[in-house]
Structure 1
Amino acid sequence: MGSIWEIDFYSRPILDENQKKVWEVLVCESPLDIRTNLDSLFRYAQYCPSTQVNSGWLRTALQEAIDKAGEAPIKIRFFRRQMNNMITKACQDLGIPALSSRRTLVLNQWLEQRMIEVYPQEPGYQGGANPSVRLENPLPQRLPDALEGQKWVFVSLSAAELAEMPEWDIGFREAFPLELAQLSPETRIPGVLIFSPRALPVAGWMSGLELAFLRVDQSQGTRLVLETGTAESWILANIKNSTTLAEAQGFEAAKQNANGVHFIGVQSDPQAEAFAGFWLLQEVNLP
Protein backbone atom coordinates (compact mmCIF):
# COMPACT_ATOMS: atom_id res chain seq x y z
CA MET A 1 0.00 0.00 0.00
CA GLY A 2 1.30 3.47 -0.88
CA SER A 3 1.34 6.54 1.34
CA ILE A 4 -1.54 8.91 2.07
CA TRP A 5 -0.90 12.63 2.42
CA GLU A 6 -2.66 15.35 4.41
CA ILE A 7 -2.50 18.89 3.01
CA ASP A 8 -3.55 22.39 3.95
CA PHE A 9 -3.45 25.38 1.59
CA TYR A 10 -4.59 28.55 3.28
CA SER A 11 -3.61 32.04 4.44
CA ARG A 12 -1.40 32.46 7.49
CA PRO A 13 -1.27 35.26 10.11
CA ILE A 14 1.58 36.92 8.18
CA LEU A 15 1.42 40.03 5.97
CA ASP A 16 3.79 40.64 3.04
CA GLU A 17 5.32 44.02 2.09
CA ASN A 18 2.03 44.95 0.38
CA GLN A 19 0.03 44.17 3.53
CA LYS A 20 -1.51 41.09 1.90
CA LYS A 21 -1.90 37.76 3.69
CA VAL A 22 0.84 35.22 2.95
CA TRP A 23 -0.46 31.78 2.02
CA GLU A 24 1.18 28.43 2.67
CA VAL A 25 0.90 24.82 1.59
CA LEU A 26 1.64 22.18 4.20
CA VAL A 27 2.03 18.53 3.22
CA CYS A 28 2.52 15.66 5.63
CA GLU A 29 2.18 11.91 5.46
CA SER A 30 -0.65 10.18 7.32
CA PRO A 31 0.38 7.45 9.78
CA LEU A 32 -1.45 4.26 8.86
CA ASP A 33 -0.24 1.95 11.64
CA ILE A 34 -0.20 2.20 15.41
CA ARG A 35 3.56 1.56 15.43
CA THR A 36 4.46 4.20 12.85
CA ASN A 37 7.48 6.30 13.79
CA LEU A 38 6.10 9.84 13.65
CA ASP A 39 9.56 11.28 12.98
CA SER A 40 9.80 9.19 9.80
CA LEU A 41 6.72 10.75 8.18
CA PHE A 42 7.33 12.95 5.13
CA ARG A 43 6.69 16.69 5.52
CA TYR A 44 6.89 19.65 3.14
CA ALA A 45 6.09 23.35 3.58
CA GLN A 46 6.19 26.30 1.18
CA TYR A 47 4.88 29.85 1.38
CA CYS A 48 2.79 31.22 -1.49
CA PRO A 49 2.38 34.93 -2.37
CA SER A 50 -1.23 36.13 -2.27
CA THR A 51 -0.97 37.05 -5.97
CA GLN A 52 -0.31 33.41 -6.94
CA VAL A 53 -3.04 31.61 -5.01
CA ASN A 54 -4.48 29.23 -7.63
CA SER A 55 -4.62 25.55 -8.50
CA GLY A 56 -1.67 25.91 -10.90
CA TRP A 57 0.69 27.13 -8.18
CA LEU A 58 -0.57 24.41 -5.82
CA ARG A 59 -0.10 21.72 -8.48
CA THR A 60 3.52 22.84 -8.98
CA ALA A 61 4.16 22.83 -5.22
CA LEU A 62 2.66 19.34 -4.86
CA GLN A 63 4.81 18.09 -7.74
CA GLU A 64 7.88 19.45 -5.94
CA ALA A 65 6.78 17.63 -2.79
CA ILE A 66 6.35 14.42 -4.79
CA ASP A 67 9.85 14.83 -6.25
CA LYS A 68 11.29 15.28 -2.75
CA ALA A 69 9.35 12.32 -1.36
CA GLY A 70 10.39 10.09 -4.26
CA GLU A 71 6.87 8.89 -5.01
CA ALA A 72 3.32 10.20 -5.24
CA PRO A 73 0.73 9.34 -2.57
CA ILE A 74 -2.23 7.12 -3.42
CA LYS A 75 -4.59 9.84 -2.15
CA ILE A 76 -4.56 13.25 -0.50
CA ARG A 77 -6.73 14.36 2.42
CA PHE A 78 -7.73 17.94 3.19
CA PHE A 79 -10.05 19.39 5.84
CA ARG A 80 -10.88 22.91 4.59
CA ARG A 81 -14.14 22.59 2.65
CA GLN A 82 -13.87 26.15 1.32
CA MET A 83 -10.67 25.11 -0.54
CA ASN A 84 -12.34 22.09 -2.13
CA ASN A 85 -12.32 23.28 -5.76
CA MET A 86 -8.74 24.52 -5.80
CA ILE A 87 -7.25 21.50 -4.02
CA THR A 88 -9.31 19.00 -6.00
CA LYS A 89 -8.29 20.61 -9.32
CA ALA A 90 -4.58 20.59 -8.44
CA CYS A 91 -4.73 16.95 -7.35
CA GLN A 92 -6.74 15.89 -10.42
CA ASP A 93 -4.11 17.49 -12.66
CA LEU A 94 -1.55 15.26 -10.94
CA GLY A 95 -3.77 12.17 -11.19
CA ILE A 96 -4.17 11.85 -7.42
CA PRO A 97 -7.58 11.44 -5.71
CA ALA A 98 -8.35 14.27 -3.27
CA LEU A 99 -10.68 13.51 -0.37
CA SER A 100 -12.24 15.95 2.09
CA SER A 101 -11.50 14.48 5.50
CA ARG A 102 -11.26 15.22 9.20
CA ARG A 103 -8.68 12.44 9.50
CA THR A 104 -5.79 14.92 9.35
CA LEU A 105 -4.39 14.37 12.83
CA VAL A 106 -0.69 14.93 12.13
CA LEU A 107 -1.47 18.01 10.03
CA ASN A 108 -3.62 19.48 12.82
CA GLN A 109 -0.82 19.14 15.35
CA TRP A 110 1.75 20.52 12.90
CA LEU A 111 -0.42 23.58 12.26
CA GLU A 112 -0.78 24.19 16.00
CA GLN A 113 2.99 23.89 16.44
CA ARG A 114 3.69 26.34 13.59
CA MET A 115 1.17 28.83 14.98
CA ILE A 116 3.19 28.89 18.22
CA GLU A 117 6.78 28.40 17.07
CA VAL A 118 7.12 29.39 13.39
CA TYR A 119 4.75 32.15 12.26
CA PRO A 120 5.49 34.51 15.19
CA GLN A 121 9.14 34.55 14.05
CA GLU A 122 8.24 35.71 10.53
CA PRO A 123 8.39 39.37 9.45
CA GLY A 124 4.86 40.72 9.12
CA TYR A 125 3.40 38.38 11.73
CA GLN A 126 -0.05 39.43 12.92
CA GLY A 127 -0.96 38.04 16.34
CA GLY A 128 -4.42 36.80 17.18
CA ALA A 129 -6.74 34.35 15.48
CA ASN A 130 -6.48 33.33 11.84
CA PRO A 131 -10.02 31.95 11.55
CA SER A 132 -11.14 29.52 8.91
CA VAL A 133 -14.54 29.97 7.28
CA ARG A 134 -17.12 27.94 9.19
CA LEU A 135 -19.64 26.07 7.05
CA GLU A 136 -22.86 24.51 8.29
CA ASN A 137 -22.96 20.74 8.63
CA PRO A 138 -25.90 18.79 7.21
CA LEU A 139 -28.06 16.65 9.48
CA PRO A 140 -27.02 13.01 10.09
CA GLN A 141 -28.19 10.55 7.43
CA ARG A 142 -29.78 7.15 7.82
CA LEU A 143 -27.51 4.23 7.14
CA PRO A 144 -28.00 2.50 3.78
CA ASP A 145 -30.72 -0.16 4.10
CA ALA A 146 -28.22 -3.01 3.66
CA LEU A 147 -26.33 -1.86 6.76
CA GLU A 148 -29.20 -1.24 9.15
CA GLY A 149 -30.21 -3.64 11.89
CA GLN A 150 -26.71 -4.66 12.91
CA LYS A 151 -25.94 -5.46 16.53
CA TRP A 152 -23.39 -3.36 18.36
CA VAL A 153 -21.91 -2.87 21.83
CA PHE A 154 -19.80 -0.37 23.77
CA VAL A 155 -16.41 -1.79 24.81
CA SER A 156 -12.99 -0.56 25.92
CA LEU A 157 -9.34 -1.58 25.71
CA SER A 158 -6.23 -0.21 27.35
CA ALA A 159 -3.72 1.72 25.25
CA ALA A 160 -1.26 -1.11 25.89
CA GLU A 161 -3.71 -3.68 24.50
CA LEU A 162 -4.35 -1.55 21.42
CA ALA A 163 -0.61 -1.38 20.80
CA GLU A 164 -0.82 -5.06 19.81
CA MET A 165 -3.14 -4.21 16.90
CA PRO A 166 -0.54 -5.16 14.20
CA GLU A 167 -0.73 -8.78 15.43
CA TRP A 168 -4.51 -8.99 15.08
CA ASP A 169 -6.29 -10.57 12.13
CA ILE A 170 -7.94 -7.53 10.51
CA GLY A 171 -9.35 -7.05 7.01
CA PHE A 172 -9.71 -3.27 6.63
CA ARG A 173 -7.75 -1.12 9.07
CA GLU A 174 -6.17 2.20 9.82
CA ALA A 175 -4.52 3.49 12.99
CA PHE A 176 -2.04 6.03 14.29
CA PRO A 177 0.58 6.00 17.07
CA LEU A 178 -0.98 6.67 20.46
CA GLU A 179 1.94 9.00 21.25
CA LEU A 180 0.18 11.43 18.91
CA ALA A 181 -2.43 11.80 21.65
CA GLN A 182 0.09 11.53 24.50
CA LEU A 183 -1.62 8.58 26.17
CA SER A 184 -0.14 6.36 28.85
CA PRO A 185 -0.30 2.54 28.40
CA GLU A 186 -2.89 2.33 31.19
CA THR A 187 -5.37 4.73 29.58
CA ARG A 188 -8.71 3.11 28.77
CA ILE A 189 -9.71 3.64 25.16
CA PRO A 190 -13.46 3.37 24.51
CA GLY A 191 -14.89 1.87 21.38
CA VAL A 192 -17.85 0.36 19.57
CA LEU A 193 -17.97 -3.11 18.05
CA ILE A 194 -20.48 -3.82 15.29
CA PHE A 195 -21.54 -7.44 14.73
CA SER A 196 -22.95 -8.55 11.40
CA PRO A 197 -23.14 -11.78 9.35
CA ARG A 198 -22.20 -9.44 6.48
CA ALA A 199 -19.17 -8.16 8.36
CA LEU A 200 -16.84 -7.92 5.36
CA PRO A 201 -19.26 -5.90 3.15
CA VAL A 202 -20.01 -3.61 6.10
CA ALA A 203 -16.29 -3.09 6.75
CA GLY A 204 -15.71 -2.55 3.04
CA TRP A 205 -18.40 0.15 2.93
CA MET A 206 -16.89 1.85 5.97
CA SER A 207 -13.38 1.72 4.51
CA GLY A 208 -14.66 3.69 1.52
CA LEU A 209 -15.56 6.57 3.84
CA GLU A 210 -13.12 9.01 5.40
CA LEU A 211 -13.88 7.93 8.97
CA ALA A 212 -13.55 10.83 11.41
CA PHE A 213 -15.02 9.93 14.80
CA LEU A 214 -17.97 8.54 16.74
CA ARG A 215 -20.10 10.73 18.97
CA VAL A 216 -23.21 10.45 21.09
CA ASP A 217 -25.70 13.04 19.80
CA GLN A 218 -28.50 14.26 22.08
CA SER A 219 -30.03 16.96 19.89
CA GLN A 220 -32.98 14.73 18.93
CA GLY A 221 -33.20 11.97 21.48
CA THR A 222 -29.96 10.05 21.99
CA ARG A 223 -28.18 8.67 18.94
CA LEU A 224 -24.83 7.09 18.17
CA VAL A 225 -23.47 9.00 15.17
CA LEU A 226 -20.53 8.20 12.89
CA GLU A 227 -18.87 11.32 11.47
CA THR A 228 -17.17 10.96 8.08
CA GLY A 229 -15.52 13.21 5.50
CA THR A 230 -15.56 16.87 6.54
CA ALA A 231 -19.30 17.19 7.10
CA GLU A 232 -21.13 13.89 6.59
CA SER A 233 -22.60 11.91 9.47
CA TRP A 234 -24.54 8.66 9.80
CA ILE A 235 -26.94 7.45 12.49
CA LEU A 236 -25.57 4.10 13.66
CA ALA A 237 -28.23 3.60 16.33
CA ASN A 238 -30.99 5.27 18.31
CA ILE A 239 -30.39 4.75 22.04
CA LYS A 240 -33.43 4.38 24.27
CA ASN A 241 -32.58 1.67 26.80
CA SER A 242 -31.58 3.19 30.17
CA THR A 243 -28.59 0.84 30.54
CA THR A 244 -27.31 1.71 27.08
CA LEU A 245 -27.86 5.41 27.76
CA ALA A 246 -25.56 5.10 30.78
CA GLU A 247 -23.00 3.25 28.65
CA ALA A 248 -23.20 6.01 26.03
CA GLN A 249 -22.43 8.62 28.69
CA GLY A 250 -19.52 6.46 29.86
CA PHE A 251 -18.24 6.22 26.28
CA GLU A 252 -18.15 10.01 25.92
CA ALA A 253 -16.48 10.46 29.32
CA ALA A 254 -13.83 7.85 28.51
CA LYS A 255 -13.26 9.43 25.09
CA GLN A 256 -12.67 12.81 26.71
CA ASN A 257 -10.26 11.23 29.22
CA ALA A 258 -8.37 9.64 26.29
CA ASN A 259 -7.90 12.99 24.48
CA GLY A 260 -10.63 12.07 21.99
CA VAL A 261 -9.14 8.70 21.03
CA HIS A 262 -11.55 5.79 20.48
CA PHE A 263 -12.12 2.98 17.99
CA ILE A 264 -14.71 1.18 15.90
CA GLY A 265 -14.51 -2.48 14.93
CA VAL A 266 -16.57 -4.82 12.77
CA GLN A 267 -16.87 -8.56 13.46
CA SER A 268 -19.09 -11.37 12.23
CA ASP A 269 -20.23 -12.21 15.79
CA PRO A 270 -19.15 -11.69 19.43
CA GLN A 271 -17.19 -14.96 19.44
CA ALA A 272 -15.11 -14.08 16.36
CA GLU A 273 -11.37 -13.66 16.90
CA ALA A 274 -10.80 -11.78 13.63
CA PHE A 275 -11.99 -8.32 12.63
CA ALA A 276 -13.46 -7.52 9.23
CA GLY A 277 -12.50 -3.92 9.98
CA PHE A 278 -10.88 -1.94 12.78
CA TRP A 279 -10.14 1.80 12.88
CA LEU A 280 -8.51 3.90 15.54
CA LEU A 281 -10.17 7.34 15.61
CA GLN A 282 -9.71 10.67 17.37
CA GLU A 283 -12.15 13.52 17.79
CA VAL A 284 -10.25 16.81 17.53
CA ASN A 285 -11.05 20.46 16.93
CA LEU A 286 -9.99 21.49 13.45
CA PRO A 287 -8.19 24.83 12.96
Structure 2
Amino acid sequence: MGSIWELDFYSRPILDANQKKVWEILVCESPVDVRTKTDSLFRYAQYCPSTQVNSVWLRTALEEAINKAGEAPIKIRFFRRQMNNMITKACQDAGIPALPSRRALVLNQWLQQRMEEVYPQELGYQGEANPSVRLDRPLPQRLPDALEGKQWAFVTLEAKDFVDMPDWEIAFGEAFPLELAQLSPEIRIPGILIFSPRALPIAGWMSGLEMAYLRFDTSQGDRLILETGATESWVLANIRTPQLLKEAQGFEETKQKANGVHFIGVQSDPQVQSFSGFWLLQEVSL
Protein backbone atom coordinates (compact mmCIF):
# COMPACT_ATOMS: atom_id res chain seq x y z
CA MET A 1 0.00 0.00 0.00
CA GLY A 2 1.29 3.45 -0.91
CA SER A 3 1.41 6.48 1.34
CA ILE A 4 -1.36 8.97 2.09
CA TRP A 5 -0.61 12.70 2.22
CA GLU A 6 -2.20 15.60 4.08
CA LEU A 7 -2.15 18.95 2.30
CA ASP A 8 -2.79 22.58 3.15
CA PHE A 9 -2.64 25.48 0.70
CA TYR A 10 -3.58 28.81 2.23
CA SER A 11 -2.39 32.30 3.14
CA ARG A 12 -0.11 32.81 6.14
CA PRO A 13 0.22 35.76 8.54
CA ILE A 14 3.10 37.17 6.48
CA LEU A 15 3.06 40.14 4.08
CA ASP A 16 5.37 40.42 1.08
CA ALA A 17 7.06 43.62 -0.18
CA ASN A 18 3.78 44.64 -1.84
CA GLN A 19 1.84 44.17 1.41
CA LYS A 20 0.08 41.09 0.05
CA LYS A 21 -0.41 37.88 2.01
CA VAL A 22 2.16 35.15 1.38
CA TRP A 23 0.64 31.74 0.65
CA GLU A 24 2.14 28.35 1.43
CA ILE A 25 1.76 24.72 0.52
CA LEU A 26 2.35 22.19 3.28
CA VAL A 27 2.42 18.48 2.52
CA CYS A 28 3.01 15.74 5.07
CA GLU A 29 2.57 12.00 5.15
CA SER A 30 -0.28 10.52 7.17
CA PRO A 31 0.70 7.84 9.69
CA VAL A 32 -1.34 4.67 9.31
CA ASP A 33 -0.53 2.75 12.49
CA VAL A 34 0.49 3.27 16.10
CA ARG A 35 4.13 2.27 15.55
CA THR A 36 4.87 4.96 12.97
CA LYS A 37 7.66 7.32 14.01
CA THR A 38 6.41 10.82 13.27
CA ASP A 39 9.91 12.18 12.67
CA SER A 40 10.27 9.71 9.77
CA LEU A 41 7.19 10.97 7.91
CA PHE A 42 7.73 12.88 4.67
CA ARG A 43 7.19 16.65 4.80
CA TYR A 44 7.37 19.40 2.20
CA ALA A 45 6.83 23.17 2.50
CA GLN A 46 7.06 25.99 -0.04
CA TYR A 47 5.89 29.60 0.00
CA CYS A 48 3.79 30.90 -2.90
CA PRO A 49 3.51 34.56 -4.00
CA SER A 50 -0.05 35.89 -3.88
CA THR A 51 0.17 36.60 -7.64
CA GLN A 52 0.63 32.88 -8.40
CA VAL A 53 -2.14 31.36 -6.29
CA ASN A 54 -3.75 28.96 -8.74
CA SER A 55 -4.06 25.25 -9.52
CA VAL A 56 -1.15 25.37 -12.00
CA TRP A 57 1.33 26.59 -9.36
CA LEU A 58 -0.08 24.09 -6.86
CA ARG A 59 0.25 21.20 -9.29
CA THR A 60 3.89 22.15 -10.00
CA ALA A 61 4.63 22.26 -6.26
CA LEU A 62 2.96 18.87 -5.81
CA GLU A 63 5.08 17.37 -8.56
CA GLU A 64 8.20 18.74 -6.88
CA ALA A 65 7.08 17.19 -3.59
CA ILE A 66 6.54 13.85 -5.35
CA ASN A 67 10.03 14.03 -6.84
CA LYS A 68 11.52 14.67 -3.40
CA ALA A 69 9.48 11.86 -1.82
CA GLY A 70 10.43 9.43 -4.57
CA GLU A 71 6.86 8.27 -5.17
CA ALA A 72 3.34 9.69 -5.43
CA PRO A 73 0.79 9.08 -2.67
CA ILE A 74 -2.30 6.99 -3.33
CA LYS A 75 -4.50 9.89 -2.16
CA ILE A 76 -4.28 13.37 -0.67
CA ARG A 77 -6.38 14.65 2.23
CA PHE A 78 -7.22 18.32 2.72
CA PHE A 79 -9.43 20.03 5.29
CA ARG A 80 -10.01 23.57 3.93
CA ARG A 81 -13.35 23.35 2.18
CA GLN A 82 -13.04 26.85 0.69
CA MET A 83 -9.99 25.62 -1.27
CA ASN A 84 -11.84 22.57 -2.61
CA ASN A 85 -11.91 23.48 -6.30
CA MET A 86 -8.27 24.58 -6.57
CA ILE A 87 -6.84 21.68 -4.57
CA THR A 88 -9.01 19.09 -6.30
CA LYS A 89 -8.06 20.43 -9.76
CA ALA A 90 -4.32 20.48 -8.98
CA CYS A 91 -4.39 16.95 -7.56
CA GLN A 92 -6.42 15.60 -10.46
CA ASP A 93 -3.99 17.18 -12.94
CA ALA A 94 -1.18 15.47 -11.02
CA GLY A 95 -3.04 12.16 -11.24
CA ILE A 96 -3.82 11.84 -7.52
CA PRO A 97 -7.28 11.56 -5.90
CA ALA A 98 -8.00 14.42 -3.47
CA LEU A 99 -10.40 13.88 -0.59
CA PRO A 100 -11.87 16.48 1.81
CA SER A 101 -11.00 15.15 5.27
CA ARG A 102 -10.65 16.20 8.87
CA ARG A 103 -8.25 13.31 9.46
CA ALA A 104 -5.19 15.58 9.22
CA LEU A 105 -3.60 15.10 12.62
CA VAL A 106 0.07 15.49 11.65
CA LEU A 107 -0.71 18.49 9.46
CA ASN A 108 -2.66 20.15 12.28
CA GLN A 109 0.26 19.83 14.69
CA TRP A 110 2.72 21.01 12.05
CA LEU A 111 0.63 24.09 11.31
CA GLN A 112 0.47 24.96 15.02
CA GLN A 113 4.23 24.52 15.33
CA ARG A 114 4.87 26.77 12.33
CA MET A 115 2.47 29.42 13.65
CA GLU A 116 4.42 29.52 16.91
CA GLU A 117 8.02 29.03 15.74
CA VAL A 118 8.45 29.62 11.99
CA TYR A 119 6.21 32.43 10.76
CA PRO A 120 7.17 34.87 13.57
CA GLN A 121 10.77 34.69 12.28
CA GLU A 122 9.77 35.73 8.74
CA LEU A 123 10.12 39.27 7.44
CA GLY A 124 6.63 40.74 7.14
CA TYR A 125 5.11 38.66 9.94
CA GLN A 126 1.85 40.21 11.13
CA GLY A 127 1.37 38.46 14.44
CA GLU A 128 -2.37 37.98 14.17
CA ALA A 129 -4.42 34.84 13.81
CA ASN A 130 -4.93 33.52 10.30
CA PRO A 131 -8.29 31.71 10.61
CA SER A 132 -9.89 29.60 7.93
CA VAL A 133 -13.20 30.77 6.53
CA ARG A 134 -16.04 29.15 8.48
CA LEU A 135 -18.67 27.51 6.32
CA ASP A 136 -22.01 26.11 7.41
CA ARG A 137 -22.14 22.38 7.97
CA PRO A 138 -25.07 20.21 6.84
CA LEU A 139 -27.28 18.47 9.41
CA PRO A 140 -26.33 14.92 10.44
CA GLN A 141 -27.72 12.22 8.14
CA ARG A 142 -29.50 9.06 9.19
CA LEU A 143 -27.52 5.87 8.63
CA PRO A 144 -28.82 3.58 5.88
CA ASP A 145 -30.93 0.82 7.47
CA ALA A 146 -28.61 -1.92 6.21
CA LEU A 147 -25.67 -0.32 8.00
CA GLU A 148 -27.14 0.01 11.47
CA GLY A 149 -25.55 -2.22 14.10
CA LYS A 150 -27.71 -4.72 15.97
CA GLN A 151 -25.94 -3.95 19.24
CA TRP A 152 -23.25 -1.59 20.49
CA ALA A 153 -21.41 -0.82 23.72
CA PHE A 154 -19.19 1.83 25.26
CA VAL A 155 -15.76 0.49 26.27
CA THR A 156 -12.34 1.80 27.30
CA LEU A 157 -8.75 0.66 26.81
CA GLU A 158 -5.49 1.95 28.21
CA ALA A 159 -3.17 3.72 25.78
CA LYS A 160 -0.55 0.99 26.23
CA ASP A 161 -3.06 -1.59 24.96
CA PHE A 162 -2.72 -0.12 21.46
CA VAL A 163 0.98 -0.96 21.15
CA ASP A 164 0.08 -4.30 19.59
CA MET A 165 -2.68 -2.95 17.34
CA PRO A 166 -0.69 -3.67 14.12
CA ASP A 167 -0.84 -7.35 15.10
CA TRP A 168 -4.62 -7.40 15.58
CA GLU A 169 -6.76 -9.03 12.90
CA ILE A 170 -8.49 -6.03 11.30
CA ALA A 171 -10.15 -6.03 7.87
CA PHE A 172 -10.64 -2.26 7.55
CA GLY A 173 -9.17 0.48 9.70
CA GLU A 174 -6.54 3.09 10.39
CA ALA A 175 -4.56 4.37 13.36
CA PHE A 176 -1.88 6.88 14.30
CA PRO A 177 0.98 6.97 16.83
CA LEU A 178 -0.31 8.06 20.23
CA GLU A 179 2.80 10.20 20.68
CA LEU A 180 0.92 12.73 18.52
CA ALA A 181 -1.57 13.15 21.35
CA GLN A 182 1.11 13.07 24.07
CA LEU A 183 -0.70 10.45 26.14
CA SER A 184 0.73 8.50 29.04
CA PRO A 185 0.58 4.67 28.69
CA GLU A 186 -1.93 4.40 31.56
CA ILE A 187 -4.51 6.92 30.35
CA ARG A 188 -7.91 5.50 29.49
CA ILE A 189 -9.06 5.85 25.88
CA PRO A 190 -12.83 5.54 25.31
CA GLY A 191 -14.57 3.99 22.35
CA ILE A 192 -17.58 2.11 21.10
CA LEU A 193 -17.87 -1.39 19.69
CA ILE A 194 -20.57 -2.05 17.11
CA PHE A 195 -21.81 -5.63 16.72
CA SER A 196 -23.69 -6.88 13.65
CA PRO A 197 -23.93 -9.98 11.44
CA ARG A 198 -23.24 -7.48 8.63
CA ALA A 199 -20.04 -6.28 10.32
CA LEU A 200 -17.88 -6.54 7.20
CA PRO A 201 -20.21 -4.47 4.94
CA ILE A 202 -20.58 -1.87 7.72
CA ALA A 203 -16.80 -1.63 8.15
CA GLY A 204 -16.29 -1.47 4.39
CA TRP A 205 -18.76 1.40 4.13
CA MET A 206 -17.06 3.25 6.99
CA SER A 207 -13.65 2.80 5.36
CA GLY A 208 -14.77 4.95 2.43
CA LEU A 209 -15.93 7.85 4.60
CA GLU A 210 -12.68 9.55 5.70
CA MET A 211 -13.46 8.94 9.37
CA ALA A 212 -12.90 12.02 11.55
CA TYR A 213 -14.28 11.57 15.06
CA LEU A 214 -17.23 10.65 17.29
CA ARG A 215 -19.05 13.16 19.46
CA PHE A 216 -21.93 13.08 21.92
CA ASP A 217 -24.52 15.63 20.78
CA THR A 218 -27.41 17.04 22.82
CA SER A 219 -28.60 19.79 20.46
CA GLN A 220 -31.52 17.75 19.05
CA GLY A 221 -31.94 14.93 21.52
CA ASP A 222 -29.13 12.79 22.88
CA ARG A 223 -27.20 11.22 20.00
CA LEU A 224 -23.82 9.82 19.05
CA ILE A 225 -22.67 11.61 15.89
CA LEU A 226 -19.99 10.25 13.56
CA GLU A 227 -18.14 13.06 11.76
CA THR A 228 -16.64 12.18 8.39
CA GLY A 229 -15.02 13.91 5.42
CA ALA A 230 -14.81 17.70 5.68
CA THR A 231 -18.47 18.34 6.50
CA GLU A 232 -20.49 15.13 6.64
CA SER A 233 -21.95 13.67 9.82
CA TRP A 234 -24.12 10.67 10.61
CA VAL A 235 -26.39 9.73 13.51
CA LEU A 236 -24.63 6.60 14.71
CA ALA A 237 -26.94 5.95 17.67
CA ASN A 238 -29.76 7.55 19.64
CA ILE A 239 -29.35 7.55 23.41
CA ARG A 240 -32.68 6.39 24.82
CA THR A 241 -32.10 5.26 28.41
CA PRO A 242 -30.70 6.96 31.56
CA GLN A 243 -27.95 4.32 31.75
CA LEU A 244 -26.83 4.94 28.16
CA LEU A 245 -27.00 8.69 28.76
CA LYS A 246 -24.64 8.32 31.71
CA GLU A 247 -22.27 6.17 29.62
CA ALA A 248 -22.37 8.66 26.73
CA GLN A 249 -21.50 11.53 29.06
CA GLY A 250 -18.68 9.42 30.49
CA PHE A 251 -17.43 8.69 26.98
CA GLU A 252 -17.21 12.41 26.20
CA GLU A 253 -15.52 13.24 29.51
CA THR A 254 -12.95 10.44 29.09
CA LYS A 255 -12.32 11.54 25.49
CA GLN A 256 -11.51 15.07 26.64
CA LYS A 257 -9.07 13.74 29.25
CA ALA A 258 -7.39 11.71 26.48
CA ASN A 259 -6.83 14.85 24.35
CA GLY A 260 -9.71 13.90 22.07
CA VAL A 261 -8.43 10.38 21.32
CA HIS A 262 -11.04 7.59 21.04
CA PHE A 263 -11.90 4.63 18.80
CA ILE A 264 -14.60 2.74 16.91
CA GLY A 265 -14.56 -1.03 16.49
CA VAL A 266 -16.89 -3.18 14.38
CA GLN A 267 -17.32 -6.90 15.09
CA SER A 268 -19.74 -9.64 14.10
CA ASP A 269 -20.44 -10.46 17.77
CA PRO A 270 -18.91 -9.79 21.23
CA GLN A 271 -17.16 -13.18 21.36
CA VAL A 272 -14.93 -12.89 18.28
CA GLN A 273 -11.30 -11.78 18.64
CA SER A 274 -11.01 -10.17 15.19
CA PHE A 275 -12.35 -6.83 13.96
CA SER A 276 -14.16 -6.16 10.71
CA GLY A 277 -13.21 -2.53 11.29
CA PHE A 278 -11.20 -0.55 13.83
CA TRP A 279 -10.33 3.14 13.72
CA LEU A 280 -8.27 5.13 16.19
CA LEU A 281 -9.59 8.69 16.05
CA GLN A 282 -8.86 12.11 17.53
CA GLU A 283 -11.13 15.14 17.68
CA VAL A 284 -9.10 18.26 16.82
CA SER A 285 -9.99 21.79 15.74
CA LEU A 286 -9.20 22.48 12.09
TM-score, normalised relative to structure 2? 0.99
- Where in structure 2 are the equivalents of 1:1-287 lying within 5 Å? 1-286=1-286
In 1, the alpha carbon distance for the partners of 2:230 and 2:113 equals 22
1:179 alignment partner AA: E
| Secondary structure in structure 1 of the residue aligned to 2:112 | helix
Structure 1 residues 160-169 or 40-49, which shifts more?
160-169
Shift of the alpha carbon at 1:33? 0.6
Instruction: Tell me the secondary structure at the aligned position of residue 132 of structure 1.
Output: coil
| Unmatched tracts of structure 2, length 5 or more | none
Aligned pairs, number: 286
The separation in 1 between residues aligned to 2:42 and 2:149, in whole angstroms, is: 42
**Cα deviation digits, residues 197-217 of structure 1 (max 9, x gap):** 011111000000100000001
CA distances 1:202-244 after superposition (whole Å, capped 9, x unpaired): 1000000100000001001100110000110000111011000
C-alpha displacement of 1:163 = 1.5
- One-letter amino acid matched to 2:61: A
Q: 2:78·2:99 contact (CA, 8 Å) conserved in 1?
A: yes
- Structure 1 counterpart of 2:170, one-letter code: I
Q: What is the one-letter code of the residue matched to 1:218?
A: T
For 2:32 and 2:184, the matched residues in 1 are separated by 20
The C-alpha deviation readout for 1:221-280, integer Å capped at 9, x for no partner, is 100110000110000111011000000000000000000000000000000100001000
Q: What do you get for the CA RMSD once the two structures are aligned? A: 0.6
Find the aligned partners of 2:195 and 2:162 in 1 and give their Cα distance: 19
Offset at residue 149 of structure 1 (A): 4.8
The separation in 2 between residues aligned to 1:52 and 1:195, in whole angstroms, is: 51
1:164 match: secondary structure: helix
Partners in 2 of 1:129 and 1:71 — Cα distance? 35
Contact 2:149 2:194 in 1 (8 A): no
SS state at 1:285 partner: coil
Query: How far apart are 1:20 and its partner, in Å?
Result: 0.2
Is the contact made by 2:158 and 2:185 (CA closer than 8 Å) also made in structure 1? Answer: yes
Deviations 1:147-174 (A, max 9, x none): 1253111000000111211111111120
AA at the equivalent of 2:230: T
Q: Distance in 2 between matches of 1:149 and 1:272?
A: 16
Runs of 4+ in 1 over 2 A off after TM superposition: none
Amino acid in the other structure paired with 2:2: G
Question: Which is further off, 159-168 or 94-103?
Answer: 159-168
Mapped to 1, the partners of 2:141 and 2:46 lie a distance apart of 38
Shift of 1:113: 0.2
Unaligned 5+ residue runs, structure 1?
none
Summarize deviations over 1:125-164 as a string: whole Å, max 9, x none.
Answer: 0011111100011100000121125311100000011121
Name the % identity.
79
SS in 2 for 1:116: helix
Per-residue CA shift, 1:7-57, capped at 9, x if unaligned?
Answer: 000000000000000000000000001100111100000000000000000
Please give the alpha-carbon distance, in whole angstroms, between the structure 2 residues aligned to 1:150 and 1:109: 37
